[in-house]
Amino acid sequence: MRVHTYEKAFLIVGAALLVVFMIALTYTSVAMGIHLPGKVAMVDPAALATTPPFDQPGVRQTGDNTYEAVVVGQAWQFLPGEIRVPAGAEVTFILTSRDVIHGFHVERTRINIMMIPGQIGKTTYTFKTPGEYLIICHEYCGAGHHFMFGKVIVE
């Protein structure tokens, strides 16, 4: 049985695309530092109001130019809705959700993490450029989903 010329071309193109995609995936995960944030720990979503650090969401300075932002996602809002940090600061985001699955995406950055009830997520990012960075929920969370946004202000 003889393989047709178009079939050979299709197989070659398909194999080449697989190689290109594997190189792109390796490059983004190694050179650009993009990776899947892992589950840090578990927490009772019903007890967030009494469970540190989620009982006081907000930004805290933890060292010289390092900050920790504790964020809680709940029905159509992020707590806190505004995060202020200086330019060049390394910010560790510690996140969870109080009710349903929410998304936490900071525009113009690589920050993109799921906020799952009971699961604590953690990711770190250094904001080098001053400005306002929009935070959006990228996971449909109900009728008011389009109202769920916040911002990071880098001064």
Q: Which residues pair with 92 in a beta bridge?
A: 68, 124
Residues of the domain holding 8: 1-35
Same domain flag for 21 and 93: no
Supply the pLDDT for residue 34: 66
Same domain (yes/no): 50, 78: yes
50 secondary structure, DSSP code: G
Does 122 share its domain with 71?
A: yes
What are the pLDDT tens digits along the chain (155 aa)? 566 888 888 899 999 999 999 999 888 777 776 666 666 789 999 999 999 999 999 999 999 999 999 999 999 999 999 999 999 999 999 999 999 999 999 999 989 999 999 999 999 999 999 999 999 999 999 999 999 999 999 99
Q: Do 119 and 90 belong together in one domain?
A: yes
Same structural domain, 25 and 95: no
Q: Does 46 lie in the same domain as 24?
A: no
Q: How confident is the model at residue 39, as a pLDDT?
A: 64
Same domain, 4 and 76: no
Asked if 53 and 127 sit in the same domain, the reply is: yes
How high is the pLDDT of residue 59?
Answer: 97
Query: Same domain for 62 and 10?
Result: no
Query: How many domains is the chain partitioned into structurally?
Result: 2
Interatomic CA distance for residues 20 and 127, integer angstroms? 30
pTM of the model: 0.77
Longest dimension (CA), the chain: 72
**Is residue 26 located within the same domain as residue 49?**
no
Q: Are residues 98 and 58 in the same domain?
A: yes
The DSSP bridge pattern shows strands 82-85 and 112-115 to be unpaired
CATH at residue 118: 2.60.40.420
